[in-house]
Structure formats: structure tokens, C-alpha cells
Structure 1
Amino acid sequence: MNYKMMGKFLSQILIVEAGFMVPALLISLYTGSRAAVYGFGLSILITAGVGALMYYFCRNSTRRFFAREGMVCVAGSWIAISFFGCLPFVFSREIPNFVDALFEIVSGFTTTGSSILGDVEALSPGIMYWRSFSHWLGGMGVLVFLLALSPNGERGKGYTMHLLRAESPGPNVNKLVPKMRTTARILYVIYMVLTFINFLFLLLGKMPVFDAVCTAFGTAGTGGFGIRNDSIAGYSPYIQNVCTVFMFLFGINFSCYYLLLVRHVKEVLKDQELRLYIIIFVVSILLITFNVRGLYGSWEETIRHAAFQVSSIMTTTGFASTDFDLWPGFSKALLLCLMFVGACAGSTAGGLKMGRLLLILKNLRRNIRRILSPQRVEVVRMNGNRIGEDVLNNTNTYLAAYGVILVGSFLLISIDGLSMTTNVSAVAACFNNIGPGFDVVGPTCNFSVYSWFSKLVLIFDMLAGRLEIFPMLVLFSRSTWRHK
């Protein structure tokens, strides 16, 4: 295990995180929020100081780096940025309880959007900005950002691929171009451009600049932290429609945008995952629209709320334009299913992912045909490309781990004695990085009702869901820590 190399990466991430706290500190200074200024100032000093010390002791690390180190490095980095990222909440006393502060920032970095806050609008602007910005930073990935900043001259023996594979969402990770650092830069450029366009459209709807910045961060990262207690419900229909469109766009595999830029339009149109994503999106809107048509005054309002919530839940954003916990049972059941399905692999969304769902369905069909015709030879293909057995095995393993964690987490948080609907939706919302659930943790409620133990379970679920399970699980394996 190359501890020094991992320590060097972790130190760089902490220094970058301290730098990202500076805008929040400046906002706090400008607005005169003394407690927030103290919180961010002290947090920056501690985070940067720890990062600098780690870098000093790990500066002479070797570049021997394998998949095991990649998994541990990613999981450790996300735990570390969450620990130090919650310090401004604690030091400013705006979220004085450490477990609550940790829950809030983990929810931010993992783009979950679940919250323990009952009155979001009571937060100071600097804290509110940091809370929303955590979505944007976590959406594409913290280590991906670090790789994008790394100079081309640095040569590592495959460690960039190991890091990107461990942090990126989806059943497999492909390079857009031969160099992984260039791939990371392309992804972040696309991410930043889409975020800026989203911001401009929000401004056109006369949204205040600060609101537009925070909302764009939440939409881009498909996170869902609102800066108002009613989330997006209090904004105009135009702004709600803008959020609907951009949540959908950020749920698409970013490689599709790259293919469009290099004019490979036919490849995008033939993408099976994108087709399935669009079909489920449209069909879900139609079904919910007809199911809730009597709850709203016009078809326009009905379609707007149905499209918004489908886009929000399917892309695991978690914004709310209405209290969907009051919808009929069929619509709520459909939204619950969309929580598990998620959007496309290679996007900022959570959930099972469309690509993985396709592989599961295709492999299921192949195995049924094998049962009927044992001598039949058949391969699984995606977009015309043969899928290797290792990818299919990893998908099956992921599905098994997914089920075990869901059931285990549900049993553990049920100790608190809340309703089954609350507990099932809470685990689904956190593990799939959605945000709101149903009943006590619905869109107008929060997660403060849970005990500290249940919050820690849900924190693990959020991290495991964002990191595709395996990086978190390897931390509990003995073989991970054995020297070889």
C-alpha cells in the first residue's frame, strides 16, 4: 500500500478545499456575518495547515499506484473533505452539532440534498453559499478536479485511471481522449459551460444573482440544496421550467456532449442509454400528469409540476416545486421507482444509472435464452460494442452489494421507531443521492428526526451511493490494508 502517495493526494485536496472556502469567507465579510467569518477563517487555517503538513511529510512519495490505492485514496479523500468541510458550520455555531454538520456537508458533497435544517433561510449568506457550492464541487468529483489541474508533465503509472474509475459514476469509465488528464479537463470545461448557461437563463427570469448562483450550483451538481424553505416552489413558472430542463441535461452522460462538440451526432442518436433515459422521462411525465390532473388548476400547471418532479427525482437532484408527498399513491410509487433508476452513467446524477440498468436487463435476457437453449452462444452488446464478462460480473456484484446495503441500512435506522414509509424512502433518498423522501422526510420536512446513529448510517449510505459502493466497502476489507 503506497501510503505516501495517497497522503500526497489527500494533502493537495485539503489545500484545494481550503482555497474553495475563500469565496464563502469573502461573502461573509461583505455581509458582515461575524460568526461565519470566524468559522471560515478558522476552518481555512486548519484545513490548509493539515494539508501543508501532510504534503511536507509525503512530498517524496513514489508513483507506484494500483486499483487498491485508487479505491482507498478516493474513499479517504471524500471522508476527509467532508470532515474538514463541515467545520465552518460547527465553528460558526450555525449547525453546532458535529454529526448534524457532517450530515449536511456530506449531503452537499455527495449531491444528495437531504438536510437536517428546518429553517434554511436563517443561514448566513456565506454558509448558504458554501452549502450550495459543495454540490457543484462534488457533482463532477473532487479528484477529477484535481486531475484536471495537474500538469501534463507529471507521469504516473496508470494512477489517474484508477482514481477516475473509483470516483466516476457508472458501470465503466472510458477515456474521451488518450490522456486521462485531458479527459478530466474536457469534462470540467463542459461542466462549467453548462453551469454558466444555466446561470444566465436563471438571470433572464429575474432571479437575484445570489439565488441564481446557488441554484445553478444545485442544478449542475444535481444536488438540490435550496436557499429557500420551499425549495423552488416560490419562484416563477419560467424559473421552474429552466430548472426542469437543466436538471434533465445534467443527467445525460457528459461524453454525449463531447461527441456533439466533435460532430459525431449519429453516435449520440444511437446511444441506447440516452434513448432509455428519454423514454422513461417522457413516459413518467405523462403517467403522473394524468394521475394528478385534478390537483391543479390547469393543464399547464399540472404538466409543469409533473415534469419538474420527474426531472428532479430521476436525476437525483431533489428540488421540489410542490409537495409531492400529497400526490396519489401511484405517482408517489412511480417517483420511488425513479429514485432507484437514476439517470445516465457519466453524469452528475446518482441512482442505479441507466447504463447499469440496461446491462442488467440485457444480461437477464441472455441468461433466460441460455436456460431455454443451453448450447446457444450469445454476447451482450451496448451500442454495438461487445460488453466483457468482467463488466457484467462487476454489475452483478454491484447489484448484490446495493441490495445488502439497502436492507441493512433500513433495518439499522428502523431502531428509531419511525414509519416504514419514512425509513424506506430515507434510505432510498440518501443511498441514491436524491434528497427528500416521503412522510416524515418528505419535501417539506427534514432528517433532523433521526438519532445520531441513524444519521451516521445515512452518511455512509450517501458516500457509498456517490462513490459506487466499492471504494467505501474496501475500507472494511482486511486485504486492503495488508502490505504486499
Structure 2
Amino acid sequence: SHDASFGYWDSARMETVAIIFMTLAGISFVRYFVVIRSLSLRPISNDREIRTYFTVLAVSIALVSIMLLEHRVHDDFLEALRSSAFHVVSLATTTGYASADYAQWPPFIPVLLMFLGCFVSCAGSTGGGIKMVRMVLLIKQARREMVRIIHPRVVNPVTLGGRAIPSSVMTAVLGYMLIYGAATMGLTFLMLLSGLDIVTAFSAVVATVNNIGPGLGQVGPASNFGVLSAFQLWVLSFAMLLGRLELLTVLVLFTGHFWRR
């Protein structure tokens, strides 16, 4: 690879191939095994998480393409679509490649790309972040609570793929999200205490906890993490461990119950 990432080659063909394989890598590998065994694509087309995954990618690519054309970043539709598709898929699947300095694009776009990297990848894929299935369950839980406000006695379990999700699973998802938010904010405060600006500090933590790759500010796609101090790099190294091992696996080591056992 090169410091300029995919921008070094500036090749539409290479980016197209990369988009295809990055998209495939963001899907659960278990589904591929089921597809091979059944010789049918139904396990993928019937999976709510994967359908939502493709929907979010498609909507995001369309939105970013429109923004690039609207702000004259690209005058040609195909060029806008190419840039949009590559960066949306790359950041959403936490691959981390870039073919341009998207930090210089309209502010909405780099923030959206960072946001997508937090949750779009499917569980069981190579991607990092919260995972799409957790977001689907959280949205369903929120919808359930709104219905219960209107109809307090209604029986309305959270379902996924036609199956009711046990309350213990929903509790685990909510607990994970609480720890995820607390860890992100706590690590961001540590980075701020070390003297970084808010954009660099927050985006660096988000990028490392979710294993996205580049952040924004001083650690944007045109730069790297080499500009940070030793203390800041240690904090972000811990953040990467937290994210890659799904938070709880690491944090449980700091509890007394684990060592007493």
C-alpha cells in the first residue's frame, strides 16, 4: 500500500473491485457457509440484518453523491458516484481505505462516514463497530417502547426474522451500548486532557474503538496517527483492543469477580 492509499493509483477499476470485496467482507461469513450448503441466496435475501446493511449503504451512497454534485466537488455524475461508493463502503465496513481527502468535503460527509463506521458492518463479518444487528434491535426496542406508551397493556415483543428476542438478549444489547458510550466518552476526555482539539480527540477515539481507520482533524485521511504523543497512542491502542474484542471481554479483566474465580 501507499501513504496516499487508493488515491496513489487513481484507478476506477481497482476501486470497483475493492468496493465489491469490501461489501462482501461486511456480511456475516456464517451466511456464506449457509448459502454454499443450501445452494440458494435466500439465506441472504431473507436476513433482516443484511437487507438493512444494503439499504443503509445504498441510501448513504446516493446521499453523498448528491452532496458532492451539489457542492461542486465533482461535476461529473459518474465521478461523484465512484467517490461516494468507494468511501461509503470503505468507512462503513471499517476497511479504512481512501482515494481522496474526504475531510475537505462538505462537513456533513466526513461526519456521516465516521457515523456509518460505528454500526453498519454485520455481526460475524470482518468489520468492527457496534454491528448492524444491534442497531436493528435497538430501533425495534425503541419502537416497542413508543407503542407501549400509547397502549400500556399491549403484548409486543421485539422480533427478528420472525422470532421473538428474549428479554435477556435485549438487556445485553442495552448494556453493551451503555458501556460503548461510556468508554467512548471516557477515552475522549483522556485525549482532551492530553491537549488535543475536540475534533481530533473524538474522531480518533471513534475511529479506534470501531476500528475504522482514519479519523478527522489531525488524524484525517491525508494524515496519520504518527502526529500524536506517546500517551495518546497508548490510549488509542487500548481503544483498539476494546473495540476489536467487543468491550466486555477486555473490561471484565478489571473486575474483582474475574480474578476471584
Identity %: 39
CA contact (8 A) 2:91 2:212 kept: yes
Distance across 1 between alignment mates of 2:248 and 2:40: 33
Match for residue 429 of structure 1?
A: 207
Match for residue 290 of structure 1?
A: 66
Alignment-mate amino acid for residue 247 of structure 2: I
2:9 is aligned with 1:229: no
Distance across 1 between alignment mates of 2:40 and 2:3: 43
CA contact (8 A) 1:316 1:433 kept: yes
Deviation per CA, 1:219-248: give whole Å up to 9, x if none: xxxxxxxx2110111222101111111101
Given the alignment, which residue of 22, 25, 29 partners 1:254?
Answer: 29
Which entry has the higher C-alpha Rg, 1 or 2? 1
When normalised by structure 2's length, the TM-score is: 0.95
Distance across 1 between alignment mates of 2:226 and 2:111: 24
Distance across 1 between alignment mates of 2:108 and 2:204: 19
Match for residue 152 of structure 2?
A: 374
Given the alignment, which residue of 280, 298, 304 partners 2:82?
Answer: 304
1:297, CA displacement in angstroms?
A: 4.7
Match for residue 413 of structure 1?
A: 191
Given the alignment, which residue of 265, 268, 271 partners 2:41?
Answer: 265
Where structure 1 has 5 or more consecutive residues not aligned to the other structure, the ranges are 1-226
2:242 is aligned with 1:464: yes
CA contact (8 A) 1:250 1:348 kept: yes
Given the alignment, which residue of 320, 327, 335 partners 2:98?
Answer: 320
1:449, CA displacement in angstroms?
A: 2.4
Distance across 2 between alignment mates of 1:413 and 1:329: 22
CA contact (8 A) 1:430 1:458 kept: yes
CA contact (8 A) 2:56 2:120 kept: no
1:358, CA displacement in angstroms?
A: 0.4
Any residues of structure 2 matched to 1:44-59 within 5 Å, and which? none
Any residues of structure 2 matched to 1:25-424 within 5 Å, and which? 227-235=1-9, 236-261=11-36, 262-293=38-69, 294-424=72-202
Any residues of structure 2 matched to 1:443-462 within 5 Å, and which? 443-462=221-240
Q: Secondary structure at the match of 2:227?
A: coil
Where structure 2 has 5 or more consecutive residues not aligned to the other structure, the ranges are none
Q: Secondary structure at the match of 2:232?
A: helix
Distance across 2 between alignment mates of 1:478 and 1:456: 24
Q: Secondary structure at the match of 2:223?
A: coil
Aligned CA RMSD, in angstroms, stands at 1.2
CA contact (8 A) 1:416 1:450 kept: no
Distance across 2 between alignment mates of 1:389 and 1:267: 25
Distance across 1 between alignment mates of 2:12 and 2:32: 27
1:314, CA displacement in angstroms?
A: 0.3
CA contact (8 A) 2:35 2:41 kept: yes
2:252 is aligned with 1:474: yes
Distance across 2 between alignment mates of 1:323 and 1:285: 17
Alignment-mate amino acid for residue 124 of structure 2: G
Distance across 1 between alignment mates of 2:13 and 2:44: 29
Match for residue 137 of structure 1?
A: none
CA contact (8 A) 1:251 1:347 kept: yes
Distance across 2 between alignment mates of 1:448 and 1:228: 15
Runs of 4+ in 1 over 6 A off after TM superposition: none
Alignment-mate amino acid for residue 5 of structure 2: S
1:352, CA displacement in angstroms?
A: 1.2
1:264, CA displacement in angstroms?
A: 4.2
